[in-house]
Amino acid sequence: MSSKAVCPGSYDPVTNGHLDVITRAARRFDEVVVAVVGNPSKQPTFTAEERVAMVAAEIEELVAGGANVRVMSFDGLLVDFCRDHGIGVICKGLRGVADFESEQQMAQMNTRIGDVETMFLATRPDLSYLSSSLVREVAALGGSITGMVPASVERALIERVRRG
């Protein structure tokens, strides 16, 4: 039986924490689809196309090593995306208790409306403080985000937030 999972998110921008979850999911599933939310309710810093390109560039080495991982954008309900692509598992990283409370509610709703299970991966302790919104804020205020995101993402984010 082939197993497929989706790692959904806004990836605005993709962080080293996101990449860790994607890499770990790729070790457990035959195929992983990184699903970039095209129209998140918050105003994204990067377009969906830019976010897809950033994630794709950062997983090239993983794919070259044999992992079956691809990146796509989507709009609408995640369960509809899963149904359309034959995916039965959502794979999400959890940083702490606050994440669990909101993610559990979404997981239960996704199971109820879409018959999709959610698997949670505990975030590595050295990455547990990372969030895209915090990284964006630090970058916008002139702080260093080195080591929080890949170097190419760091450059793109600094350029974007500092020019307005």
Catalytic residues: 18, 42, 95, 132
**Closest residue by Cα to residue 153 from 141, 135, 137:** 135
Tell me how far CA of residue 19 lies from CA of 39, 115, 130, in angstroms.
Answer: 21, 26, 12
Q: How far apart are CA 127 and CA 72, in angstroms?
A: 24
Cis? peptide before 13, omega within 30° of 0:
yes
